[in-house]
Amino acid sequence: MYYTRDQYRAYISALRRSRRRKRIKPISLFALLVVLAGGCAVLQGNRIPWTGEGLGLQQANADSGRSPQRQPTKSLWDEPAANPAARCAWDQKFGSLLRETTFTVSSGDTLINILRKAGLARREAYEVIRTLKKIFNPAELKRGHELTLGFIDTKHTDPVFHRLCLKTDFDREYQVVRRVDQGFSARKVNRRLQVRPARAEAEITSSLYQAAMDAGLPVKALMQVLRAYSYDVDFQRDIRPGDSIEVLYEEKLDDKGQVVASGAVLFAVLHTRGRSLRIYRHKNADGGWGFYNTEGKSVRKALMVTPIEGARISSGYGMRRHPISGYNKMHEGLDFAAPRGVPVMTAGDGVVEYAGRRGSYGNYVRIRHPNQYKTIYAHLNGYAENIKSGVRVRQGETIGYVGSTGRSTGPHLHYEVMYAGNPVNPSRMETPPGRTLEGKELEKFLATKAEMEKLYASLAEDTKLAFADQDSKKKVKTTPQ
């Protein structure tokens, strides 16, 4: 009987498999016994905590005749405990050994690189990051974030990593802390900031921005003021040297009493061209907030005069000599010179009719508003996310960014307003007024208005008393005894 080559190879392979099975059986039985013995040892070992306290507890249990019990999983959250006794015990045991290092995240930094440079092993660093991912996305780590790493120094071994604290804002912190037995725990901490009223007043000599900065008014508060007045004031043409502004706003303080941020603007008055424009922050019946004038009329109009913050008008509305073609031509809008990338806001609520490239306008957005109004934004560097035809937008929402696309000599925003198909001067248009308070809501607003004015006046008196006290101290002369 003869076999083909394939049949012979199959026979040899089957024979080898049979011999291998016979040879592995005793080895497999021995390996199984070893695994079972090791598993029992591990289970027995897990019942004994591998710390000095755990061994002491086991010895006490043995002396009393009780069997040792596995301790429940704990984390080292006792360190910031609200219980004073627990806090005192933790400080006595670990407080003097805890060493903290604070890092400020720079451009290009990653969490794994920071942890590795601080001395963490790669495996431990990845475990910390994996725990942190439960409450915070490490990809959102930004420049300026504050990262604090805590290590416990021991006498006989290298420092042991204890905790990570990532502060992303003044009132928000993410923590990762080592557990007593193994692994890490993560939690998010929201800190409550104290709020107090503050007053700032400034006389304008060169620009409103510079005057506000010299008076110590935070930029965030100034932006709220500019946006509230942007419906009625052309900051490029209406503001003159000698004008002044007064602002009542909120300051936020941390647990050390230091000012860490500014809050909402409560009241402001702008003195310009012989008139005083007062605005008050008021909570509406629907729960929203808004600014109103002394008569209870909302300062918010259908369209904003300036849809960009901190820019200057480089070219006004009317006939002009075109800077590129050289011909006299009607300029049917306003040009706002600003650095490339500055956000451009929509002037009012509406629907995007067109968003895309449009000849000499470059990147272009046209929005349809109620009451036959339309606004145009041209020469944009790019568009905000989800800005496309048919999208509904709200007043003040970012729709794009300043650029120099199309026929342009430099970064700026070209802004047009159309009414019933005809161009109008944005700086001289009269749009429909906003909401007007009536009845009980008006009475509530008038009470709020009186309270804010009283608070503002009291802060002025406190400032005068402080200055008077300082002057009196300077005048006191010490006499030798």
What pLDDT score was predicted for residue 55?
34
What is the tens place of the pLDDT at every residue in 45-70? 444 333 333 333 344 444 444 444 44
What pLDDT score was predicted for residue 33?
61
What pLDDT score was predicted for residue 335?
87
What pLDDT score was predicted for residue 275?
86
Choices 3.40.50.1100, 3.10.450.350, 3.40.630.30, 3.40.50.150: CATH for 201-292: 3.10.450.350
What pLDDT score was predicted for residue 69?
45
3-state class (DSSP) for residue 43: helix
Reference 304, options 349, 260, 263; nearest CA is 349
Query: Starting from the edge strand earliest in sequence, which strands make up the sheet with 194-203, in order?
Result: 194-203, 244-253, 259-272, 275-283, 289-292
Residue 159 buriedness (CB in 10 A; 0-12 / 13-18 / 19+): middle
Q: Which residues contact 248 (CB under 8 A, 6 or more apart)?
A: 197, 198, 199, 265, 266, 267, 268, 452, 455, 456, 459
Please state, rounded to an integer, the average pLDDT across all residues of the chain. 77
What pLDDT score was predicted for residue 18?
63
3-state class (DSSP) for residue 349: coil
Give the CA distances from residue 56 to residues 45, 52, 78, 255, in Å, rounded to whole numbers and listed in that order.
15, 6, 21, 40
CATH 2.40.30.160 fits 93-190, yes or no: no
What is the tens place of the pLDDT at every residue in 299-329? 887 787 788 876 777 777 777 666 665 567 7
**DSSP character for 243?**
-
Instruction: Report whether pLDDT(71) > 50.
Output: no
CATH fold for domain 312-424:
Glucose Permease (Domain IIA) (2.70.70)
Ranked by mean pLDDT, the top range of 2-6, 74-78, 108-112, 151-155 is 108-112
3-state class (DSSP) for residue 169: strand
What pLDDT score was predicted for residue 35?
55
Give the CA distances from residue 212 to residues 209, 221, 246, 422, in Å, rounded to whole numbers and listed in that order.
5, 10, 9, 38
3-state class (DSSP) for residue 274: coil
Higher pLDDT, 8 or 213: 213
Residue 416: pLDDT band with limits 50, 70, 90: very high
What pLDDT score was predicted for residue 354?
93
Instruction: Report whether pLDDT(464) > 50.
Output: no
Q: What is the pTM of this model?
A: 0.56
Q: Which residues face 414 on adjacent strands?
A: 335, 378
3-state class (DSSP) for residue 124: helix
Residue 228 buriedness (CB in 10 A; 0-12 / 13-18 / 19+): buried
Minimum mean pLDDT range among 81-85, 169-173, 363-367, 437-441? 81-85
Residue 468 buriedness (CB in 10 A; 0-12 / 13-18 / 19+): exposed
